[in-house]
Structure 1
Amino acid sequence: MTVATAQPRHRIRPRVAPWAFLAPAIVLFTLFLVLPIGYAIYLSFVGLRVQGGAFGTRQQVFVGFENYINALTDPELVASLGRLATFGFISVPITLGGALLVALLLDLPRVRFARFSRTAIFLPYAVPGVIATLLWGFMYLPTTSPINYVLSAIGWPTINFLGAQGIFGSLANIAVWASLGFNMIVLYTALRSIPVEVYEAARLDGASEWQIARLIKIPLLAPALLLTLIFSLIGTLQAYSEPTTLKSMSNSISNSFFPLMKVYRDAFGVDNVSGAAAMSVVLALGTLAVSVVLLRVLQRRTFEGTR
């Protein structure tokens, strides 16, 4: 008597199922990220040349690193990077310092209205950048500024928010107002993940709330602080909507005030798409390099802290 053995079922479906679920995300990732990046890199290595004499046709030819050399030696790009650095030196420390201070205050025991305060501070992050810039722009204009109205009423000199000296502070104020809430939420969430027993032990030893914040909370927040620093630096390098929106209100902002504004002008204003692509790649590589360095610093600190 023979017993029929069951044939093993094909194991194709368990292997295909994960890829089927991932397929929509992979397609969107490829179409809207991989292909545009690849096309930008391709454009950065080509240039338009006239073929066939003075009345010939313009064709794309391979030019090697010519566009990158022109981008790195462009005085307008260097100047825009300097202005961006000034903007970052103002906005990034204030954003991170303010977010850390607010997160520590909201984490104090028996603090009142903590939920309302978190929501109120986070709300500006939900406002689109263009709308936020328009709102602050009307507060900066000399004819509509309530700040200058109050200063004039009490006999104090008014402030030229949109002038050459005040434009960096005005732009940094918009950036801080919009991004402080997001960074505060990140830091506050990291604080809530710290075991309460650590604080209770410190209080039993007689530590004050200031000593707990300085010696326990802030050191344990190092990974979250570094993460918010990376976010802030990337946001600074991507600054575009604020100065572009304020440009119509201020003569101090040019078409190449920040690097991304210059990239847009070169690509769509003067038809230098290849040069703009090379600048974009340079900015992307610079952002990547800064992020990698900061992450390596975090990994080294974490490794040394666990030894």
Structure 2
Amino acid sequence: MTAVPTPATTPPGPASARSRRAARRRRFTGAALAAPFALLLLCTVLIPIGYAFYLSLFADRLSGLGFDGYRQVLTGFDNYTDVLADPAARDSVANVARYAAIHIPVMFGGALLIALLLNSATVRLRQLWSLAVFLPYAVPGVIAGLIWGYLYSPGIGPLADVLPFDPFGESGVLPSIVNMATWQWTGYNVIIFYTALQTVPRDVLEAARADGAGALRTALSIKIPMIRPTIFVALVFTTIGSLQLFTEPMVLRTFTGAVTSTWTPSLYIYDAAFIRNDYGRAAAASILLALASALLSALVMRLSSRRSR
């Protein structure tokens, strides 16, 4: 019977030991570099979300005949069902949806048009114009809201007699808020789009001009498609910001009664937490708002990736 020879195992040499040490060193370096971000994410995002979810499972109930005050009671998902069934919460979502349907197209269209004009060769003093359109973003939101509130006020501001609608009326408060937000955020997106347009290869633009393409055709067929990923990223941030609309209606509440304490989801959460002291309902509404923001962001990113392919 012939024995089958087995391959001899060679002991690991110095080269293999050095490669293992180098691999361990790379893993340690990667973990060390990612640790600050992971710690920041844990402390500012994951732990607050977990605590909010914990609070959303409880509600304050009177104990006994009410003489012992309130005590926390585990209610499960009752707070979520209460928020979803609350007409005020549904109205706040409808208001934000109408706001986003007007604000996002107007703001994006204006920002993209201004960025294209700044990127064209016919505009002089580009840096001065860029600073001019960016300045509204540098104004704090509360200060900007107060300024616009006085501009809208009848007898004080000049806009009340010029606008074709009552800026503080039931039907005019939405355009007023859209105007305030568009004025503040257009310049921010102009800078983003203008910076992206600067990365478009010049040889592509020169080839388009050599083929006889005009400025409009070049913008529609070359510039805008090449900065489409930047546009979709800005769209994600704008969508999230629209869902979190808070400052403008909060400031206008001091000028008009058309803006209620639950006019937007963020105002609804603020009212539940700090006016009615119903922290369970506020936490449940916060979790639902975060889920809606995540789903819309994922939808926009999916659409952007599909358009890119």
TM range (shorter): 0.7 to 0.9
Question: 2:76: which partner in 1?
Answer: 64
Distance 1:287 1:148 in 2: 35
Distance 2:78 2:262 in 1: 21
Offset, 1:28: 3.8
In structure 1, the residue corresponding to 2:73 is in which secondary structure?
A: strand
In structure 1, the residue corresponding to 2:255 is in which secondary structure?
A: coil
Distance 2:230 2:34 in 1: 29
Distance 1:20 1:195 in 2: 37
CA distances 1:71-114 after superposition (whole Å, capped 9, x unpaired): 11110000111111111122111100001100111111242111
Question: 1:154: which partner in 2?
Answer: none
Question: 1:74: which partner in 2?
Answer: 86
Residues 1:146 and 2:158 are matched in the alignment:
yes
Distance 1:223 1:294 in 2: 11
Residues 1:166 and 2:172 are matched in the alignment:
yes
The correspondence of residues 145-224 of structure 1 with structure 2, limited to 5 A, is 145-148=157-160, 151=162, 159-224=165-230
Q: Is the 8 A contact 1:100 1:187 kept in 2?
A: yes
- Of 37, 55, 71, the match for 2:49: 37
TM norm structure 1: 0.87
Distance 1:158 1:299 in 2: 41
Residues 1:232 and 2:204 are matched in the alignment:
no
Which segment drifts farther, 14-23 or 176-185?
14-23
Which segment drifts farther, 11-20 or 288-297?
11-20
Q: Which has the larger radius of gyration?
A: 2
Distance 1:22 1:221 in 2: 30
**Structure 1 gap segments, 5+ residues each:** 152-156
Which segment drifts farther, 177-186 or 108-117?
108-117
The correspondence of residues 4-43 of structure 1 with structure 2, limited to 5 A, is 23-43=35-55
Q: Give the fraction of aligned pairs with identical amino acids, expressed as a percent.
A: 38
Offset, 1:160: 2.3
In structure 2, the residue corresponding to 1:60 is in which secondary structure?
A: strand
The correspondence of residues 272-283 of structure 1 with structure 2, limited to 5 A, is 272-283=278-289
Distance 1:192 1:223 in 2: 14
Residues 159 and 195 of structure 1, relative CA distance in 2, 3 Å threshold: same
Q: Is the 8 A contact 1:142 1:160 kept in 2?
A: no
What amino acid maps onto 2:52 in structure 1? A
Which segment drifts farther, 13-22 or 126-135?
13-22
Residues 1:298 and 2:296 are matched in the alignment:
no
Offset, 1:29: 3.3
In structure 1, the residue corresponding to 2:159 is in which secondary structure?
A: helix
Distance 1:113 1:177 in 2: 21
Question: 1:84: which partner in 2?
Answer: 96
Residues 1:109 and 2:121 are matched in the alignment:
yes
RMSD: 2.4
CA distances 1:148-200 after superposition (whole Å, capped 9, x unpaired): 46x5xxxxx87521111211111111100111011111111111111111111
Q: Is the 8 A contact 1:263 1:280 kept in 2?
A: yes
Residues 95 and 158 of structure 1, relative CA distance in 2, 3 Å threshold: closer
Number of residues of Structure 1 aligned to a counterpart in Structure 2: 292
Q: Is the 8 A contact 1:266 1:275 kept in 2?
A: yes
In structure 2, the residue corresponding to 1:147 is in which secondary structure?
A: coil
Distance 1:270 1:172 in 2: 28
Residues 270 and 14 of structure 1, relative CA distance in 2, 3 Å threshold: same
Distance 2:175 2:284 in 1: 30
Residues 184 and 163 of structure 1, relative CA distance in 2, 3 Å threshold: same
Question: 2:131: which partner in 1?
Answer: 119
In structure 2, the residue corresponding to 1:206 is in which secondary structure?
A: coil
What amino acid maps onto 2:58 in structure 1? V
Distance 1:40 1:107 in 2: 45
What amino acid maps onto 2:153 in structure 1? L
In structure 1, the residue corresponding to 2:209 is in which secondary structure?
A: helix
Q: Is the 8 A contact 1:138 1:144 kept in 2?
A: yes
CA distances 1:110-167 after superposition (whole Å, capped 9, x unpaired): 4211111111101111111001111111111112112346x5xxxxx87521111211
**Structure 2 gap segments, 5+ residues each:** 1-13
What amino acid maps onto 1:205 in structure 2? D
Offset, 1:17: 5.9
